[in-house]
Structure 1
Amino acid sequence: MLNVEEKVVILTGASSGIGEATAKVLANKGAKVVLSARREERLQKLKSEIEKQGGTVEYKVTDVASQQEVEELASFTLDTFGKIDVLINNAGFMPLSYLYEKRVTEWEQMIDVNIKGVLYGIAAVLPYMRTRKQGHIINVSSVAGHIAFPSSAVYSGTKFAVRAITEGLRQEEVENNVRTTIISPGAVDTELVNCISNQEIKKGIEEQIMEFGLPAEAIANSILYAISQPDNIAVNEIIVRPTKQEI
């Protein structure tokens, strides 16, 4: 039996892409999933779809760039299901651009979502997990968190940060049995490309995804694998690229 059934999982960025696919996969395996994102209509639709398949799910509209809202998400989960077993920090923002374009607002949004959002999630659940001496925090990074390329400087910076934060967390919480996992996807067919305002870069990424991009379910299955291991096994990092992806 997979070590997933009856686990309570908080999932950010659940309204589409990797988050949506992960919610369906985990609920199908018996997890109780708390969906969060900013788009309520998407969350309502996903909740309905999961419930029709017999899954247990609730949602709370949450902006991960707000510490208060993330704290409220954790409180909602405890009030609803009585515990928190897993946090998946999946929400992300990827407006790739060249540094000379000086898209400072986009830089700040990436920092707010990709770094602060992860930290707020950790802060919201870690005291509870430390008291319980058990828990699992999964942070979604990227292959861009392993290598930078033209137009990815700031995005890669945020995703390198996610990996550093997660490794630091792992070392700090070994004695408290809090497991950590970094998930680093390569090219995946999601809506993330839609936030790229530089049309030249956007077109290039879209062509790459059309050629060999993975379905979001491939990443969802990797997350499932990490969660499903026995509690004495921590899968600390998974990189998932399309076979044809070079970088």
Structure 2
Amino acid sequence: MNATESKVVLVTGASSGIGQATARHLAAMGHRVVAGARRTDRLAALAAECDGAVNGVELDVASLDSVHAFVAHAMARYGRVDVLVNNAGVMPLSPIADLRVHEWDQMIDVNLRGTLYGIAAVLPGMRARGSGHIVNISSVSGHRVDPTAAVYSATKFAVRALSEGLRQENDDIRVTVVSPGFTHSELTHQGGAPDARSAARAATERLAIPAAAIAEAIAFAVAQPPNVDVNELVVRPTAQR
């Protein structure tokens, strides 16, 4: 990849799972990657692994100030942002009747508000340049609703709706939604009702595809020419129903 093909790519939630795999894969392709997450020790390890092709920055997507600082860091270092991958997400599953309101708020804050904050931080610059690409990570749960996943699905349906609206409002900015199925990640490691968490973890262990598969789908969308917008990709295990 030559200098004109190399893009400045921001990836949120890059300390594990899909975000980490995406940062690693895009850096290996020759892109300049700024990886954001709260666990800075993991970002440092990722940067060392990638021989400096990944620049790690502390990021809390639920804080608008933190997201603006993340983008400002990329602008100061590289002068522009070509691609934002809104990947950070949480998935504490539970029946609605459990009334885990704090976890509902967390999913809204990270999965939806965090996506909006990312868009708000990069969109003005992209519009001013007349180019850019925003990749939002939804889920197969953004296409269907299952018991214990109602609130999670609500946030992921919202990400798809938001993305489609953003696409229709802009002629020069590409918008891609990637909806992963069961994928090896840490989504099932924290929060939620114990029974729901155990069931999700068992299904993941039985069916999951590697996070690298999602990273490659993102890379495919990013690699298209400016006049080609890959709007939506659903990537799941062959055996997943």
Q: TM-score, normalised by structure 2?
A: 0.97
Secondary structure at the aligned position of 2:189 is classed as: helix
TM alignment of 1:200-211, pairs within 5 A: 200-211=195-206
Which letter maps to 1:147? R
- Distance, in Å, in 1 between the alignment partners of 2:42 and 2:99 is 32
> Structure 1 residues 71, 195: CA separation in 2 closer, same or farther (over 3 Å shift)?
same
Which letter maps to 2:32? K
Moved more, 66-75 or 193-202: 193-202
Tell me what 1:85 maps to.
82
Tell me what 2:30 maps to.
30
Q: Is 1:219–2:196 an aligned residue pair?
A: no
- Distance, in Å, in 2 between the alignment partners of 1:140 and 1:189 is 15
1:118-138 Cα shifts (integer Å, max 9, x gaps): 000000000000000000000
- Distance, in Å, in 1 between the alignment partners of 2:61 and 2:115 is 8
Tell me what 1:71 maps to.
68
Secondary structure at the aligned position of 1:154 is classed as: helix
Tell me what 1:238 maps to.
233
1:134-166 Cα shifts (integer Å, max 9, x gaps): 000000000000111100110000000000000
Q: How many residues align?
A: 241
Match of 1:161 among 158, 161, 165: 158
Tell me what 1:131 maps to.
128
Secondary structure at the aligned position of 2:65 is classed as: helix
> Structure 1 residues 3, 142: CA separation in 2 closer, same or farther (over 3 Å shift)?
farther
Is contact 2:32-2:53 (8 Å) kept?
A: yes
Match of 2:116 among 84, 98, 119: 119
Secondary structure at the aligned position of 2:188 is classed as: helix
Is contact 1:4-1:228 (8 Å) kept?
A: no
- Distance, in Å, in 1 between the alignment partners of 2:3 and 2:195 is 44
**Cα distance, 1:197 vs structure 2:** 3.1
Is contact 1:4-1:26 (8 Å) kept?
A: no
**Cα distance, 1:59 vs structure 2:** 1.6
> Structure 1 residues 129, 153: CA separation in 2 closer, same or farther (over 3 Å shift)?
same
**Cα distance, 1:49 vs structure 2:** 0.4
**Cα distance, 1:5 vs structure 2:** 4.0
Which letter maps to 1:231? P
TM alignment of 1:6-45, pairs within 5 A: 6-45=6-45
Tell me what 1:143 maps to.
140
Root-mean-square deviation (CA, aligned residues, Å) is 1.4
- Distance, in Å, in 2 between the alignment partners of 1:161 and 1:20 is 24
Secondary structure at the aligned position of 1:183 is classed as: strand
Tell me what 2:94 maps to.
97
- Distance, in Å, in 1 between the alignment partners of 2:173 and 2:192 is 38
> Structure 1 residues 30, 5: CA separation in 2 closer, same or farther (over 3 Å shift)?
farther
Tell me what 1:47 maps to.
47
Paired-residue identity, %:
51
**Cα distance, 1:56 vs structure 2:** 1.8
Is contact 2:11-2:34 (8 Å) kept?
A: yes
> Structure 1 residues 2, 151: CA separation in 2 closer, same or farther (over 3 Å shift)?
farther
- Distance, in Å, in 1 between the alignment partners of 2:4 and 2:196 is 39
- Distance, in Å, in 1 between the alignment partners of 2:177 and 2:82 is 17
- Distance, in Å, in 2 between the alignment partners of 1:166 and 1:4 is 27
**Cα distance, 1:102 vs structure 2:** 0.3
Q: TM-score, normalised by structure 1?
A: 0.95
